Structures are given as C-alpha cells and as structure tokens.
Structure 1
C-alpha cells in the first residue's frame, strides 16, 4: 500500500525585501514572497522518506493568496508529486489556530499516513503549527527532529537538545516537524522545474473543506496584532581613532553600556 506523505508549506514574504503590515495589521502579502526556507527542509525529508519506501506519494499543501502557487511550484520542482492550494478571501487575517484548522481539513481531504512540517515559518516563527495539526487530527506528534525515517508503520526520529539527544518513535499516522539540521534541501534541477509545470495542483476553498467563514479570519482567530512599530533605521557606529589609547577608549565604551 502506498505511503501517503503530506508536507505543509508556507508562502512567506522575502526577508531580503521590504516587509510590513496592512492597515488592519495583517501581514502584507503584496510584496515579493517565496517558499519558507525552513519548509524546504520538510520537503527534503519527505522526499528522502519517499525514496526509501517501496511505494510513496508526496503531496504539498499550502493556504494563502494566489501567489502562494510559487511556493508549491518550488516544492514540486524539488520532486513532490502533487499539490493542494487553499485560497479564500475569508482566510485573510487568520492566526495559527485558524490556519491549523484549514490545513488539518486539507490534510484529511488528501489522505495521509505522515504529515511533515518545518520547525517554524520564517515570518511568524511561532513553531506551534505541527502540534496544533496533530491535536486536530488526533494523531501522535514527533517534533523538532534532526533525523527522521519511516519503517514498518512507524516513524522514528532524533531530537537534539542542549543537554541531551532523544530517540523518538510513533505509530503512523503521525505528524512530524524537522529542523534546519535535518539535511540540506536539494536544488531543483532543470528537468525538475520543467516537470513541475505538468504536475497537478488542486485548488480548494473553505466551502470545499466544509469550513464556516466565522471559523477563520479575525473572527476565528484567538490572537491578533494590537500594534506594530517599524524598526528604527540603523545609525552609523561610533568610530574610535587609536592614538595609542584605543584599548582604553574601547574599555570605556563597553563599561558605559554595561557590557563589561
């Protein structure tokens, strides 16, 4: 029986560009975006698990605006088999709790044995989505893995902490998240990029997933941004001219700011 692997990915603003909020303090999605770098590790691990299996299928799922297709195409060009894109205007302003509902419904719609996530998104950086998904799906979670494998109906992984390394195991179906130490993500080949254009991308909305509008967006969210202040522009640093007393000036500078 085919091993069904679902990877949840996110389309995020490009960290090298201008990022900000809209007037209602939701993330501005009009700027350039891309597949979250931390989710590339999730795609990579899903592909490695699929390559080691006798028969496996990798589906990538995202919820977001039309441009989120770019994130899906990147994952497909890496080697995923198909994709699902949930797009609905009523989802705008959804926090991680509301988003987890949408993704859980989509995962159930696709069918799964294993759900793979990145350790966090590079914009929100909360890191709680995998746990919320597992709770909604009512399956085990094995999170923050730097190594993961699947065999004989079980997922096994290694979690590296500051003081110890843990070996974890759970029966499938399950949800896992992987860290940026799990293995470098592959670069899409030209062949993979061309093949991705022909791979199926299923489009869904809230009605397809039997989700009411009040369950998502600001109304369905448990958290919201109350205020946001742009980070001050960086100022020029203080230049110390060494006239034989450079060390003293440096020590005084550090002591004044209580660094020493």
Structure 2
C-alpha cells in the first residue's frame, strides 16, 4: 500500500505571530517556520503503518514556496520515502490544494491519504474533506485511532462528547487529530540520509490547477487586549457586579 501525506510549511507553533504595520497580513520576515503540527502527526501515523507492514511507500507532498523543501526534508528525515514539491508563491487556498492533491493521487494511485485535520495558520479544516470529495473516496476525519485491515480501514473519530468509529473501504482520506500519536524526532543520521532521498519539483500548471486566490484579505489586526480581572469581597458583591454588567 502506498500512502500520500500532504504537509504544510507554517509559522512554528512556539512563535507568536506579528501583524504587519499596515495591517495587510502576518509578518513572516525572519520568523521561524516548521511543519504544521497536525501534519507531523500524519507523517508519524504513516510511518507506523509502514513499520507494521501495512504500507510499502510513503510519499510526502507540499504545495508552497521553494523553502517548503525544508518541510519536506523533515518528513523524509522522519521516515517518508520520497517527496513532491508543487512550487508556487501564491497564497494557495484549500480548494486549490485539494485539486492538486487529487491530481497527484490519480498519478500516484495511493490507497490512503493521511493529512492533518487543519493547518495552524488559517485553521480552515477543509483540505482533507475537499480532497475526498474530488476523488469520490470515503473519509475519516479527526482520527483518534487508525487501524488498517486488508482493503478496509477503521477510524475512531473524536466528536463532541465522545468517539465515533467508522469503517471505510480503501482508498480513503484520513485527517489526524492531536491524540492520534506522538511524532518522533528525526535522528541526525536520518537527517543526513534525507538529503539524498528523491524530491520532485512540480508547478500547479503541471496539474492544470489555477491557484489564484478567490478571497481577498482586507485587514488583519491584533486581538483586543484582555482586561484584568477584579477581586470581590464576597458572593453578594460578585452577584451585584454580574447584574451591573448585564451578565445575569
């Protein structure tokens, strides 16, 4: 079985994003970038399936600028076998990414696509679902547990108030949630080996996909500063404050 794992280059989750002075977007100058954490979980799950003998090849894919090669090399160092970079400097929206992934899936013929449930930069939570729809494949979103059994896959999903188990026929699309696994750190020898693993470079035009954005960002601003709390003497004072604020 071949597994396709899309990964995205985003601002590192430890970094506090800064808004540009003109409010046109987020400032990416001299900011540490890394692989989207949910995509790291997806790569780890694909590796575990391969280690369990349920997959033969893992192909990492990224749609983004030339520097996204670094993100793909991280996936290769973790254990992916080869990578594909679809290079574009456009701000690619989820539908365009899904169209590109669908075209790659038609060429590569994977049995399984595993991707993060969302990217931490735009929080869209759309790419996996759109890819499944374009391919006509079953989908298991917000995966907490994944178990491949022959030509089927059982996915335990995290839903409001509990877990839901679905069984899908392969090929299928799975999106990962936080509690699916704990991604491994790439060892130094594997980082060196990753430099020699194949990485193909493509463009959206190679797949006949228009990546021009359909949405325009009119303004980006910092969230309002949180107001300090206030201590009260007793319950009666608290109730009086809440009534004055219209909370009760």
Tell me the TM-score normalised to structure 1 length. Answer: 0.82
The unaligned stretches of length 5 or more in structure 1 are none
CA spacing shift, 1:54–1:123, aligned 2, 3 Å = closer
Q: Does 2:221 align with 1:229? A: yes
CA spacing shift, 1:252–1:21, aligned 2, 3 Å = same
Q: CA deviation at 1:35?
A: 0.3
The unaligned stretches of length 5 or more in structure 2 are none
State how far apart, in whole Å, the 2-side matches of 1:127 and 1:63 are.
Answer: 16
The equivalent residue for 2:62 is: 62
CA spacing shift, 1:102–1:22, aligned 2, 3 Å = farther
The equivalent residue for 1:18 is: 17
| 3-state SS of paired residue (1:208) | helix
Q: Does 2:50 align with 1:50? A: yes
State how far apart, in whole Å, the 2-side matches of 1:69 and 1:98 are.
Answer: 19
State how far apart, in whole Å, the 2-side matches of 1:198 and 1:140 are.
Answer: 35
CA spacing shift, 1:249–1:88, aligned 2, 3 Å = same
**1:121-156 CA deviation, whole Å, 9 max, x = no partner?**
111112111110011122111111100021211111
CA spacing shift, 1:101–1:189, aligned 2, 3 Å = same
State how far apart, in whole Å, the 2-side matches of 1:66 and 1:29 are.
Answer: 15
CA spacing shift, 1:161–1:202, aligned 2, 3 Å = same
Q: CA deviation at 1:209?
A: 1.8
State how far apart, in whole Å, the 1-side matches of 2:17 and 2:162 are.
Answer: 39
**1:12-52 CA deviation, whole Å, 9 max, x = no partner?**
12341434469795665544311011111111111111111
CA RMSD of aligned residues (A): 2.7
Q: CA deviation at 1:161?
A: 2.4
CA spacing shift, 1:145–1:238, aligned 2, 3 Å = closer
Write the mapping of 1:1-260 to structure 2, written as runs, cut at 5 A: 3-15=1-13, 16-20=15-19, 25=24, 29-30=28-29, 31-53=31-53, 56-89=56-89, 92-211=90-209, 215-218=210-213, 221=214, 223-233=215-225, 237=228, 246-247=233-234, 251=238, 255=242, 256-257=244-245
State how far apart, in whole Å, the 2-side matches of 1:55 and 1:234 are.
Answer: 48
Structure with the higher fraction of residues in strand conformation: 2
| 3-state SS of paired residue (2:17) | coil
State how far apart, in whole Å, the 2-side matches of 1:234 and 1:146 are.
Answer: 33
Assess if the C-alpha contact under 8 Å between 1:155 and 1:171 holds in 2. yes
Assess if the C-alpha contact under 8 Å between 1:66 and 1:87 holds in 2. yes
State how far apart, in whole Å, the 2-side matches of 1:58 and 1:167 are.
Answer: 25
Assess if the C-alpha contact under 8 Å between 1:26 and 1:93 holds in 2. no
